[in-house]
């Protein structure tokens, strides 16, 4: 694989920069500029360096390099596919479930995933949640005794400085009913140099359980620098969870998905959610059917350690929330003396007796 870095080691934030770096074809420049006019573009040096420009189907490029297919919006696709706005009582807070709430600290990311479900809301220039807006969001959380967990998201909250995350952590730690803090990020994979021991300490909330959900979709994202960043977070006492999106052309095959889940576990990250792609505008080329996804997830069971098993999740369009849609291994049985048929990993069926 050809490894290279962008000129000057700077993020690639324009189609011209992608063409110059050899990551986009010159004859596609005009079409891709139309994509960039609608959706944000940014590739960090760490991500650009993982792409093989000689491979037209490179799975890292597919995640981050714009594609003209993004200009095709299907009727069922939604600008707010999981209904954040309908559950946002104050700016920066999404309160969809009784015992937990999202705190959207920023609207920008170090990279912009081409399948992002918030792609209509994130991008450079978006305001961070600061000042009176942050005060109002924290006041909302403090006034709800049912909120047990707060999930920091955005954008990517790890683009904030250590000083800023330390301030947020301190203020959340002062809310007694909040017992769990969870940060969602791609930074350890896409900009691993940001994760220093001081940064890892800044994320801690005294007296609270601290979780970090790290998003990765392909085993190649686990570079040596990424592994070092992950170890820094784990060694600081954070519990690490893995999140992935099942993406056609990236990880929608048994071999890649298995290697991805093993890479998580080898790096002290417990696979948590494997998301079915959301109905975000211009993302149809990433989606596969639920039945195809279920078959892939079913293939993991029994062939990979239980530590490597994520929950296959569908976020119901419109804001009704997440539901597990993993494959079933039990089916009803009408035979005498049996309550159900249990399917083993080879496809064999076994009667299970009634209680």
Catalytic residues: 96-97, 100, 109, 113, 116, 118, 278, 315, 322
What 3-state DSSP class applies to 101? strand
DSSP label at residue 92: T
- Burial of 311: CB neighbours in 10 Å, binned 0-12, 13-18, 19+: middle
Structure tokens at 31: 């079409």
Q: Phi and psi at residue 210, in whole multiples of 5°?
A: -115, 120
Structure tokens at 171: 């203020």
Q: In 3D, which of 90, 80, 87, 159 has the Cα closest to residue 124?
A: 159
Q: Is 128 helix (H, G, I), strand (E, B) or coil?
A: coil
Q: Nearest CA to 18 among 34, 46, 42? A: 42
Please report how the helices 131-142 and 162-173 are oriented relative to each other, as an axis angle in degrees rounded to 10. 30
Give helix 254-266 / helix 290-300 axis angle, nearest 10°: 50
Please state the separation of Cα 213 from the chain's center in Å.
Answer: 8
Q: How many CA atoms lie within 13 A of 238 on its CB side?
A: 29
- The first and second tokens of residue 236, run together, are 């600081």
d(CA 169, CA 161): 12
Handedness of CA 149, 153, 158, 159 (dihedral sign): negative
Contact between 233 and 200 under an 8 Å Cβ cutoff? The reply is: yes
């Amino acid at each position: 694989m050809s490894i290279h870095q962008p000129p000057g080691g700077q993020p690639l934030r324009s189609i011209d920069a992608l063409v110059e770096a050899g990551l986009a074809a010159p004859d596609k420049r005009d079409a891709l500029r139309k994509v960039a006019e609608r959706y944000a573009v940014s590739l960090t040096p760490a991500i650009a360096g993982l792409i093989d420009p000689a491979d037209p189907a490179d799975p890292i490029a597919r995640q981050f390099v714009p594609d003209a297919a993004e200009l095709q919006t299907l009727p069922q696709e939604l600008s707010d596919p999981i209904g954040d706005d309908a559950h946002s009582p104050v700016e920066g807070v999404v309160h969809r479930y009784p015992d937990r709430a999202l705190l959207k600290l920023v609207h920008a990311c170090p990279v912009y995933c081409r399948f992002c479900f918030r792609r209509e809301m994130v991008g450079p220039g978006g305001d961070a949640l600061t000042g009176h807006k942050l005060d109002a969001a924290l006041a909302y959380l403090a006034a709800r005794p049912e909120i047990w967990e707060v999930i920091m998201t955005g954008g990517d909250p790890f683009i904030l400085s250590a000083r800023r995350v330390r301030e947020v952590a301190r203020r959340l730690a002062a809310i007694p009913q909040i017992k769990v803090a969870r940060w969602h990020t791609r930074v350890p994979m896409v900009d691993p140099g940001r994760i220093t021991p001081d940064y890892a300490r800044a994320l801690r909330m005294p007296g609270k359980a601290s979780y970090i959900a790290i998003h990765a979709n392909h085993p190649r994202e686990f570079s040596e620098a990424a592994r070092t960043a992950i170890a820094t977070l784990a060694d600081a006492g954070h519990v690490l969870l893995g999140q992935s999106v099942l993406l056609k052309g990236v990880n929608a095959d048994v071999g890649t998905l298995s290697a991805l889940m093993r890479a998580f576990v080898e790096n002290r990250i417990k696979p948590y959610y494997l998301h079915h792609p959301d109905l975000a505008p211009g993302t149809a080329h990433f989606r596969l059917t639920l039945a195809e996804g279920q078959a892939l997830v079913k293939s993991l069971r029994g062939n990979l350690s239980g530590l490597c098993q994520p929950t296959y999740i569908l976020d119901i369009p419109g804001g009704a929330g997440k539901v597990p849609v993993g494959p079933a291994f039990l089916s009803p049985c009408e035979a005498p003396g049996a309550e159900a048929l249990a399917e083993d990993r080879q496809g064999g069926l076994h009667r299970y007796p009634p209680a």
